[in-house]
Amino acid sequence: MLLLKNGKILENGKLIKKDILVEGKYIKSIKDEIELEGAEVLELNGKFVSPGFIDVHVHWREPGFEYKESIYNASRAAARGGFTTAMPMPNLDPVPDTYENLKLQLDIIEKDSVIRAIPYGAITKGELGEEYAEFEELSEHVFAFSDDGRGVQDANMMYQSMKIASKLNKAIVAHCEDNSLILGGCMHCGKRSDELGQKGIPSVCESVQIARDVLLAEDAACHYHVCHVSTKESVRIIRDAKKTGIKVTCEVCPHHLISDENDITEAIGMWKMNPPLRASEDRQALIAGVLDGTIDIIATDHAPHALHEKEVPMAESAFGIVGSETAFGQLYTNFVKTNIFTLEQIVNMMSTRVGEIFDLPYGKLAEGELADLTVIDLERKEVINPDNFLSKGRNTPYKGQEIYGIPELTLVEGKVAYKDERIF
């Protein structure tokens, strides 16, 4: 048995001191004080204990792109960030569009991952948008279906996929991007792209496909989840769709909440991500969407690349930044310490609410539930240093940023997935 002494948990929005006893995979007891001979005791000294975070949007790159990231490294990076469950996206080689292809990934996860990992199945063969993936044979082994990295361009293909997914009780998780509107851009189409002389990606590129898809989802009676919402128009469409009873949920990434186009002072690859950082009014709309519940959850879109793919001019760079190891600290520092969001809101969007909207038995800190726990020192400050990341990916524009709220211990089903040896 493992006894976590003198931690603090959230109860009705307040931090309350509790002892937590873990037996095997489960939380045995949560009480004001627990004494038990023979238990391994970890003294937490008032540190915050959260239900383990759940990230429904990560790129673990294996199989096929191990030079960017591996399941071994990515899972340890996620654990270090406080994540106990992650859902790797299917833009791999081979694409998990059949069970045979998916099993390659499942076997590596079984061997190398220190956290729970539930992969996606593709919507279309090779994510090419031309033939349907093998939904039925994939269904029992995947979290949901997505062609992330690409928008499904054909409306009927998306519609039929939604109908199949609905019958299988799986969500369609969509990267929304109309290819005819990308226009060769590498950042948001706005004042900063003009000032830096870069081709821009207009906001309508994203929002127009969301508008199409929510209507398709309504007719198909499908759970439709929108990846990495970035524009004010997208927030408005999703808000209106929810009001009409359409089963649509969505996520926002930390970087879209924290930054906007004004933070890009030079056209370098570290600032290139998809969707791009939008205008200030878009960022404010995202924050408002979090506050009014339009935006359901936070996901990192952890997208590692080799440095030679990022340390180049923006137009030549790969899209994407890493986020697993810094997400909580950045959100806590930028929003909780500034009284924009509460700690409870952040934990809900990174854990509890994720479990609820996808009907998962995770994200619960209660007696009898799985012991997926994260211990965080809310007072501890660190400077983001990519050289110290456990991920292979070092591609972040936030190098040198000071953040508070550092995860120090992560348990998955009662087993240590990450422990800061300097502390414990």
Per-residue pLDDT of the chain (424 residues; tens, 9 = 90+): 999 999 999 999 999 999 999 999 999 999 999 999 999 999 999 999 999 999 999 999 999 999 999 999 999 999 999 999 999 999 999 999 999 999 999 999 999 999 999 999 999 999 999 999 999 999 999 999 999 989 999 999 999 999 999 999 999 999 999 999 998 999 999 999 999 999 999 999 999 999 999 999 999 999 999 999 999 999 999 999 999 999 999 999 999 999 999 999 999 999 999 999 999 999 999 999 999 999 999 999 999 999 999 999 999 999 999 999 999 999 999 999 999 999 999 999 999 999 999 999 999 999 999 999 999 999 999 999 999 999 999 999 999 999 999 999 999 999 999 999 999 8
pTM of the predicted protein model: 0.98
What are 71's two structure tokens?
A: 């399941």
Per-residue DSSP letter, 60: -
Q: What is the pLDDT of residue 424?
A: 87
Round to whole Å and give the CA distance between 34 and 19: 6
Q: What is the CA radius of gyration of the chain?
A: 21
Q: Which residue carries 């931690």 as its tokens? A: 7
Torsion, CA 99, CA 100, CA 106, CA 107, rounded to 10:
150
User: Do strands 83-88 and 26-31 pair parallel, antiparallel, or not at all (unpaired)?
Assistant: unpaired
Per-residue DSSP letter, 292: T
Alpha carbons within 13 angstroms on the beta-carbon side of residue 400 total 1
Q: What is the pLDDT of residue 149?
A: 87
Backbone phi, psi, residue 410, to 5°? -130, 125
Q: DSSP string of 158-192?
A: HHHHHHHHHHTT--EEE----GGGTTT-SEESSHH
Catalytic site positions: 301
